[in-house]
Each structure stands twice: as structure tokens, then as C-alpha cells.
Amino acid sequence: MRQPESKPAGSAPGRIVASHGRRVLLEDASGRRLPCRLFGRDLKVVCGDRVRWRPADAEGADGLVVEVEPRRTVLSRLNMGGGSEPIVANLDRLVAVLAPAPAADLDLCDRYLAAAEWADLEAAVVLNKRDLPGASEPVLTRALDVYRRIGYAVATASKREPAGVDELARLLSRGTSVLVGQSGVGKSSLTNRLVPGIEAAVQEISRGTQEGRHTTTAAVLYLLPGGGELIDSPGVRDYAPPLPAPRNVASGFREIAAVAADCRFPDCHHRGEPGCAVEPAAAAGRVDARRLASYRQLLGLAEQFAARARSKGPPRPDRGFRR
């Protein structure tokens, strides 16, 4: 019989609440937060990781992180080598943030939602800056209606309105959530409204990681006064999730996957194959045409990676993925 793995001698449980390379801020079992370093060159952690740590012998940190516990869930991204690079761990919910300015990148939002489906996370969409005139533009309102119709929670928010984040706070009031989205949509502004005393929290993180005011360049975990935990992640120019085999890409688009059950062939890619049920559903308005195009873009990227893997060439993402 296999014996349970032993914990490192003298170690205690903790959780990573901010990470900057080899320096991290750790929350111990009592809720105290302290600066730590990673022990060993091969040890890598992300915000949200459950870890084991022990007091440090040398100056420069209060503790040493010696082991990463198995992750319950993980949100990852596709790296330039074609592999999976973890971003945050032990999440319950992904919240994709859109705004009318900068112009909403709906394909980016779809890729985040697909990542949530593949990572077994709840997902929601938030329209920030709802007070701006562009928030009522038809393209944006239609997209939000589509997300609601296929089962995603949708909320609106604004830092300029007295009750501008109440709806979002209710959405985040249980479990651990991460805000994701393109640069400039106002994720940090929302976090500032959601977390009282955030300046003190930022200073604590800056001291713990010795990164000055650069803490916005990494994911940071905060406790919310109404319940729940929030990870504020850096804005991105683009994002692509680690991709499954081409035949499984549709599983990241829940409405397409539901209709695809009626396709004649189980390996249908929904590009006009005989007996495809998805294209007629799109023509009838039961599948959103823009979402179908977004799916096909990810499918094409998955096919590129699959072809390069078969030819044993180094996978280099090009079309549809920028870093």
C-alpha cells in the first residue's frame, strides 16, 4: 500500500497572496502575512497557491516556501513555447471585465470564458464604466445579452456611481474570484472600490515583495468585506488559453457544444461539414454568429499546434495569439 507523502520537516501551511519571482507574500494559518523567499531553483508559485513554508535562517525574508500543495484549480495561459503557464491557482470563479473604452475586445472575452470552461471554473462577465455613453452601443449590449442567454452571470459597474460596485460585490461574495481583461478596462479601479484600505494592503505587499509600486504587474489576492476573496490580475494585450485537441475546442463554447450533440459526425468541426447542426443553428439565431467565428479562430490555432506537434517542429504561435 502506498504511504501518504510526508510534509517537509518543520513546515507549516500557508497561501501565496502575491508573487514577484523569487519573492512572495505569504498568508499563514492565523491570517498573518509575511515576506518569504522560494527555496530551491525549481520551485515556482503563483498567487493563490497553497504551500508549505518554514522560518528563514537568513535575513531578507521571514520565511522560506519549501513546497507547493496540489492545486484544486488553475487558470493558465498559452506560452510562446506552446506549453501551459499557470497564472493563478485555487480559484472558484473567473470574471471577465469589459468596458466601452477601450473598445471591448469580445474575442478576448470569449477566450477567457473558454479557459474557465476547460479549467472547471464558474465564469461571469462584468461591464465596467457603465456610466459612459458607449456602454449602450448595440454591439456591446448585444454581446452581453448573448452571454446572459447562454448562462453566464452578467453584472455592470462604475467607480463613479454611489452604488457602482454593489452588484459586482454580491457576485464576488463567495469563493475566490479573479478579475481578468484587457488593459485599461478598470480592474484595479474596481478593486479599489471593493477593498477598503487598499492603499495599506498595497504597501504591505510592496514591503513583502520588495517591488515598490510595481505590485500592479502581478496578481494580488485581497479579502472582501462582504465575503469572498478577489485576485486582481494585470491587464493584457491578448490572451490565449492552453488548447485541447481540435475536436474538443467546442467544449469551451457551451452553446456550441450543446448544439453539436446533434451533428451527424462526432468529429464535426462546424465548418460546413455534412450534417452539421451548428451552422443551421447560427443561421436561425440560436448560436451567435460572432461567437461561432470566435470558436473557429481558436479551432484554427489548436489545429496549428496539433500539426506542429505531429511534425515535431517547435510550436510558435502566430495568427490569433500575441504576447
304 in any annotated domain: yes
Residues 263 and 176 in one domain: no
Rounded Cα distance, 52 and 6, in Å: 12
Give Cα separations from 143 to 47, 50, 291 (angstroms): 31, 36, 9
Residues 148 and 167 in one domain: yes
Rounded Cα distance, 301 and 157, in Å: 33
Residues 83 and 217 in one domain: yes
The helix or strand, by DSSP H or E, that contains position 19, with its residue range, turns out to be strand 12-20
Give the angle subtended at the CA of 296 by the CAs of 293 and 299, to the nearest 5°. Answer: 160
Q: Which three cell numbers stand for residue 321?
A: 495569439
**DSSP states of 286-300:** SS-HHHHHHHHHHHH
Residues 270 and 164 in one domain: no
Residues 86 and 47 in one domain: no
Tell me the CATH number at 155: 3.40.50.300
Rounded Cα distance, 94 and 288, in Å: 22
197 in any annotated domain: yes
Residues 79 and 226 in one domain: yes
139 in any annotated domain: yes
317 in any annotated domain: no
Domain boundary pick from 232, 258, 276: 232
Tell me the CATH number at 306: 1.10.40.50
Rounded Cα distance, 53 and 55, in Å: 7
pLDDT of residue 305: 87
Residues 165 and 83 in one domain: yes
pLDDT tens, the chain, 323 aa long = 444 445 666 899 999 999 988 899 999 999 999 999 999 889 999 999 999 999 987 666 799 999 999 999 999 999 877 789 999 999 999 999 999 999 999 999 999 999 999 999 999 999 999 999 999 999 999 999 999 999 999 999 999 988 889 999 999 999 999 999 999 999 999 999 999 877 645 555 555 444 444 345 689 999 999 999 999 998 888 999 999 999 999 999 999 999 999 999 999 999 999 999 999 999 999 999 999 999 999 999 999 988 888 886 555 554 455 43
Residues 56 and 107 in one domain: no
Cβ proximity of 268 and 290 under 8 Å: no
3 in any annotated domain: no
Beta strands in 118-245 (DSSP E): 122-127, 153-156, 176-180, 220-223, 229-232
Residues 94 and 209 in one domain: yes
220 in any annotated domain: yes
Residues 261 and 295 in one domain: yes
Q: Which amino acid is at 76?
A: S
Domain boundary pick from 24, 46, 68: 68
pLDDT of residue 314: 52
Residues 101 and 34 in one domain: no
Domain boundary pick from 52, 68, 84: 68
Domain count, the chain: 3
The whole domain housing 58 covers 12-68
61 in any annotated domain: yes
135 in any annotated domain: yes
Residues 257 and 177 in one domain: no
Tell me the CATH number at 31: 2.40.50.140
